[in-house]
Amino acid sequence: MNSSPKLAGKLIRVFVADSSRIHTQLLAAALRSEEMFDVTECAATSHGIVAEATKHNPDLVIVSSTLSGEHVRGFDLVREMRAANPTLRVVMLLDSANREIVLEAFRSGAKGIFNRSESLETLRKCITCVHRGEIWASAEQMSYAVEALASAPVVRATDSKGLSLLSKRELQVVQCLAEGLTNREIAQRIGLSQHTVKNYLFKVFDKLGVTSRVELLYMTMSQAGSPQPNRTNSSVEKHGVNGAAMYQKAAEEGFPSAQFMLAQMFHEGRGVPKDPATAYMWYLVCEKSTDELKDEISDQKRTLARSLKADQIAEAQNRAKQYIKRFAQAASVPGLHTGLTQFVACMVCILTVALRPLL
């Protein structure tokens, strides 16, 4: 494992929120003795940690599972922080390596699991590893995750009504998300603050049992485009948009959410022939279209690259460049821009019809 003190010559900005004020101060002081870290310690109560972490915009957050005497408060805060910033990397400080505690840390979105009984040197390695986008956990802890995944049902354990659980405003936020809009763009479109949009997303995550924008996007577009044996499906078909064809058209029009979904479909062979090279190409295109999914795309690209030959990767990169060039040209033509706006409106209408139960 590379233990270089700095990554790309830049300090790693670390935000620390331990179980109490004194523990936070002690841990922050210990980390400041390491030259590769720029450390900020949390000065707020557990109820103000999310706002303070957002203000400091760290590269990585270290959070204790126990905060202010509440043994699982840290997990809730990690979910809330990742709802506000899905790309945030988190290391969870655990008092116990108990299986359920470890699994809850993974479920909350932690990328690193650190036991307090381990050394400061091990924590340093954990931070640098997670900052690089890798997972830090012991073999035993990883085995817990693998066993839980293997024993989990294929269908997510969420309410059978799915997206109909959402309020009208929550559906509006989800519809904007499905277009690939950022939190700022969603806030501008529907006249809310970015903070309010983040709160809506957090509530949506909680209602639907998802932990990231990617999972929410997956659920949203799948329910909008998958065949349903009722009038919802006939409404979608009436508009001439269904399944892979819907994603293909939207992806080619330049919408990041559809590009990501199409990449996933070619990656898994779901609704289309399995084609790793085409999947890789669409991940590259999506990566250039949005900052919101970069971490998830990076993980998927790494996995695909191991199954592709060098010439296949080069071909995928060339195809991606052609698509990106086409999008740039389209954006510079007023008439085409209007067409894209109308297409977005059409997609939102179709999505709304497909999810109509509470509207």
Q: What is the pLDDT of residue 107?
A: 87
Whole-angstrom Cα distance, residue 228 to residue 223? 8
Give the span between the Cα atoms of 198 and 173, in whole angstroms.
10
Handedness of CA 332, 334, 336, 338 (dihedral sign): positive
CATH number of 12-151: 3.40.50.2300
Q: How many CA atoms lie within 13 A of 58 on its CB side?
A: 28
Question: What pLDDT does 252 receive?
Answer: 79
What mean pLDDT do residues 248-266 have? 78
Question: Where do the structural domains in the chain lie, given as residue ranges?
Answer: 12-151, 162-358
> Mean pLDDT lowest for which of 28-37, 50-59, 156-165?
156-165
**pLDDT tier at 86, thresholds 50, 70, 90:** confident
Q: Is the pTM of this model over 0.85?
A: no
Distance, CA of 335 to CA of 40 (rounded, Å): 49
Give tens-digit pLDDT for 105-150. 998 889 999 998 899 999 999 999 999 999 999 988 988 888 877 6
Kindly give, in sequence order, each residue whose CB lies less than 8 Å from that of residue 159, ignoring residues fewer than 6 positions away: 165, 207, 208, 209
Q: What is the pLDDT of residue 114?
A: 95
Structure tokens at 108: 């909350």
Q: Is the pLDDT of residue 9 over 70?
A: no
> What integer pLDDT is reported at residue 91 of this predicted model?
96
Q: Which residue has the higher pLDDT, 243 or 15?
A: 15
pLDDT tens readout for residues 213-222: 766 766 665 5
- Residue entry with tokens 């450390």: 39
List, in order, residues 6 or more apart from 215 with CB less than 8 Å away.
Answer: none
Tally of helices (H runs) and strands (E runs) in the chain: 17, 5
The pLDDT value recorded for residue 326 is 79
Instruction: Give, in order, the Cα–Cα distances in Å from 167 to each of 36, 70, 162, 222, 321.
Output: 45, 30, 12, 19, 40
Residue 128's SS3 state is helix
pLDDT in tens, 61-83: 999 998 877 777 888 888 888 87
Q: Residue 158: its pLDDT value, please?
A: 46
As a whole number, the mean pLDDT across the chain is 76
At 161, is the pLDDT very low, low, confident or very high (cuts 50, 70, 90)?
low
**Alpha carbon distance 207, 169 (integer Å):** 14
pLDDT (mean) for 296-308: 83
